Structures are given as C-alpha cells and as structure tokens.
Amino acid sequence: QVQLVESGGGLVQAGGSLRLSCAASGTIFRLSTMGWYRQAPGKQRELVASMTVAGITTYADSVKGRFTISRDNAKNTVYLQMNSMKPEDTAVYYCRSNNYGAVHWGQGTQVTVSS
C-alpha cells in the first residue's frame, strides 16, 4: 500500500516560518515527481511547488521567493520550507507523488496563518 504522510502543519503568525514534511512508503520515491498542493476554503486545489526526479522545481507565483521544496531520497521524504508566511497561505496542504500517472495523495495537513 502506497502511503504519504504529511506532518509539520499548525498555526503560525504572519511573517513566521513553518516546515512541512512528507514521508513516503510503498513507493519508488527516487523515481517519482513530488509535489505540494494546497486547498483553501471555497477554492480549488492548486500546485504550490514540485520537484522532478532530476531536481527541477516549479513554484506557484504566489510563493516564489518564500517557499522552498526539497527532497531527501535516502529518507524518502520531501519537504516544504515556508518563510515569510501570509494569511493567504492558510490552507490544507497535500503531498503528492507521481510516477507517470501513478498518482498518490497524502491526507493533508492544516496550515493556518494568523494576522
């Protein structure tokens, strides 16, 4: 059974930082594109950041310069470092793995940024 488990969510004040982790099991992690998505109330789920097998990254315009995605293949873990957080970052954050159509999602972790 493929499983992605997010952790690190919580409550933070605007301007603060938070780091999310996603631990993968039952997957060929090093051969998967990994991504972080988020969904705010009343809005569609959107891509926040992703990283390919080769290490190529993609970021949403809204988080460029503030968020950083990284991965540790030895630990089968992908991270999302979130700095200079804004209330608009409040959402449930989901981890996703993708191996050419073999897609799996984590259960999500709540991130709340207070003003």
Report the pLDDT value the prediction gives residue 15, as an integer from 0 to 100: 98
Report the pLDDT value the prediction gives residue 30, as an integer from 0 to 100: 84
Q: How far apart are CA 46 and CA 40, in angstroms?
A: 9
Report the pLDDT value the prediction gives residue 26, as an integer from 0 to 100: 82
- Whether residue 9 contacts residue 109, with contact meaning beta carbons closer than 8 Å, is answered with yes
pLDDT in tens, 62-88: 999 999 999 998 999 999 999 999 999
Q: How far apart are CA 5 and CA 26, in angstroms?
A: 12
pLDDT in tens, 22-57: 999 987 888 899 999 999 999 999 999 999 999 999
Q: Say how many Å lie between the first and final Cα of the chain, rounded.
A: 40
The continuous run of DSSP H or E covering 7 comes out as: strand 3-7
Report the pLDDT value the prediction gives residue 16, as an integer from 0 to 100: 98
Question: How far is C-alpha 55 from the chain's CA centre?
Answer: 15
